[in-house]
Structure 1
Amino acid sequence: MITVHHLENSRSQRVLWLLEELGLAYTVKRYARDPRTMRAPPELVAVHPLGKSPVITDDGIVVAETGAIIAYLTAKAGGALVPPSATQAHMRYIYWMHYAEGSAMPPLLIKLIFSRLAPGSPWLLRPLIRRIADTVLRGFVDPDLRRHAAYWETELAERPYFCGADFTAADIMMSFPLEAFAARGTGAGPQVRAWLERIHARPAYRRALAAGGPYAYAGGSPAA
């Protein structure tokens, strides 16, 4: 039996959604973030040495990293939600599966970290740290995010899903960065908003929300 070690408000929500789309049986073990640091609890180290989510166990097999989990589960389901090989859609599939974590997530994580620097610093240093953080965000991170957002708009204007006319696991992979981007009010365009509406309307997406519990990014709502 597949067990999803699910951390609240994390990338592991994508794994629950994928399992619902594939119709594979699974159980969920939930973990709460540390309320002060917002990091995963140490109990996850017992599952995988890095102590992060997502991670799944399946009859003694441990699989971590969203992309690796998606590859494992889609193969287990006979290649469902993966475009046929040697097609343009399959090449786009490979690209977006790597792009989601390799290119889209880093600037979003940097923005999150720098936005939290000043509030968590000693009060005497806060004005200086805030100025440094604002300089980095305005000069480097925000322009990079605008470039990515424009790229998403162009791609989604040409096709309803990232790989083409059909929904694939690459859309599941891309959901977290685009949901996080939209939730932080950073200027999601009409094509991204329409795509988010399409994926959020899928019955499997709604079932995954019920399985995983509260998810701050559903519907593009701000994170708690």
Structure 2
Amino acid sequence: MLTVHHLGKSQSERIVWLCEELGIPYELKVYDRHPVTRLAQPDYKALHPIGAAPVITDGDLVLAESAAIVDYIVARYGNGRLVLAADHPDFAQFLYWFHFANGTLQPATGRNMILGRLNLAADNPMLLAMKARLKLALDLVEARLGKADYLAGREFTTADIMNVFSLTTMRLFLPFDLAPYPAILAYLQRIGARDAYQRAMRKGDPDMAPLLT
């Protein structure tokens, strides 16, 4: 049985959402964060040597890293759904935006979160550089969504599943304003209207209203 080990308010929401979109059977185990540190507790860290979310188990397999898990589940259980084939005209865009999530957008938010906790001066060069990097990433997403309903193009794909966390739940840890990005906000309304997304968020984080505005 495929089991999704979901750490509350974390990137593992991607995996819960993916399973709901595919409509596949899975067991969901939800783990709370430490009430003070807000980090994973020992029971979650024991699942995998890296000690971070997400983690799945499937029989004897233990697998971490959200992109690897998404690829694994789609290849094993997806029957070609939510990905674009190499001969699809939007294949290159699909690949780019799928990898943009963990290659550019999430690192930009994560670095700003860490720097924001260091009480650096507002004119600190590293802080300014990282804020500029995040703005550049958000500007690029805005430009893309001004031309396409979804990141790969017309079709909803795993590229969307990979990126939405950084635009929504991540703002609990790094608040940033999306008001300057109307195309992103319209996109998040489309995402929020998806039944599978609603089910995933209710199951994984029932105490949290999705940050779609």
Asked if TM exceeds 0.5, the reply is: yes
Query: What is the CA distance between 1:59 and its match in structure 2?
Result: 1.3
Aligned residue for 1:62, secondary structure, equals strand
Query: What is the CA distance between 1:83 and its match in structure 2?
Result: 1.1
Q: 1 CA distance for matches of 2:207 and 2:94? A: 26
Query: What is the CA distance between 1:182 and its match in structure 2?
Result: 6.0
> Any conservation in 1 of the 2:150–2:156 contact (CA below 8 Å)?
yes
Q: 1 CA distance for matches of 2:60 and 2:40? A: 22
Pick one of 196, 205, 211 that aligns with 2:203.
Answer: 211
Question: Do structure 1's residue 9 and structure 2's residue 9 form an aligned pair?
Answer: yes
Aligned to 1:176: 165
Q: 1 CA distance for matches of 2:75 and 2:110? A: 30
Query: What is the CA distance between 1:137 and its match in structure 2?
Result: 6.4
The count of corresponding residues between Structure 1 and Structure 2 is 209
> Any conservation in 2 of the 1:54–1:66 contact (CA below 8 Å)?
yes
> Any conservation in 2 of the 1:16–1:212 contact (CA below 8 Å)?
yes
Aligned to 1:155: 144
> Any conservation in 2 of the 1:179–1:217 contact (CA below 8 Å)?
no
Alignment-mate amino acid for residue 27 of structure 1: E
Q: Give the direction of change, closer, same or farther, for the CA distance of 1:182–1:43 in structure 2 (3 Å limit).
A: closer
Aligned to 1:141: 130
Aligned to 1:106: 107
> Any conservation in 1 of the 2:90–2:152 contact (CA below 8 Å)?
yes
> Any conservation in 2 of the 1:8–1:215 contact (CA below 8 Å)?
no
The gaps in structure 2 that reach 5 residues or longer are none
Aligned to 2:64: 64
Deviations 1:8-64 (A, max 9, x none): 100011110100000111111111112222211121233211111101001111121
Aligned residue for 1:158, secondary structure, equals coil
Q: Give the direction of change, closer, same or farther, for the CA distance of 1:101–1:217 in structure 2 (3 Å limit).
A: farther
1:11-90 to 2 correspondences below 5 Å: 11-76=11-76, 77-90=78-91
Alignment-mate amino acid for residue 107 of structure 1: A
Name the structure where helix makes up a greater proportion of residues: 1
Pick one of 142, 153, 172 that aligns with 1:164.
Answer: 153
Query: What is the CA distance between 1:217 and its match in structure 2?
Result: 6.9
Query: What is the CA distance between 1:215 and its match in structure 2?
Result: 6.3
Query: What is the CA distance between 1:178 and its match in structure 2?
Result: 1.8
Pairwise CA RMSD: 2.0
Return the TM-score normalized by structure 2: 0.90
Aligned to 1:97: 98
Deviations 1:132-169 (A, max 9, x none): x6625652122211111111111111110001111111
Q: Give the direction of change, closer, same or farther, for the CA distance of 1:187–1:219 in structure 2 (3 Å limit).
A: closer
Query: What is the CA distance between 1:216 and its match in structure 2?
Result: 4.6
Q: 1 CA distance for matches of 2:101 and 2:210? A: 18
Aligned residue for 1:51, secondary structure, equals coil
Q: 1 CA distance for matches of 2:29 and 2:202? A: 14
Alignment-mate amino acid for residue 164 of structure 1: G
Aligned residue for 1:15, secondary structure, equals helix
Query: What is the CA distance between 1:105 and its match in structure 2?
Result: 1.1
Aligned to 1:185: 176
Q: 1 CA distance for matches of 2:118 and 2:128? A: 17
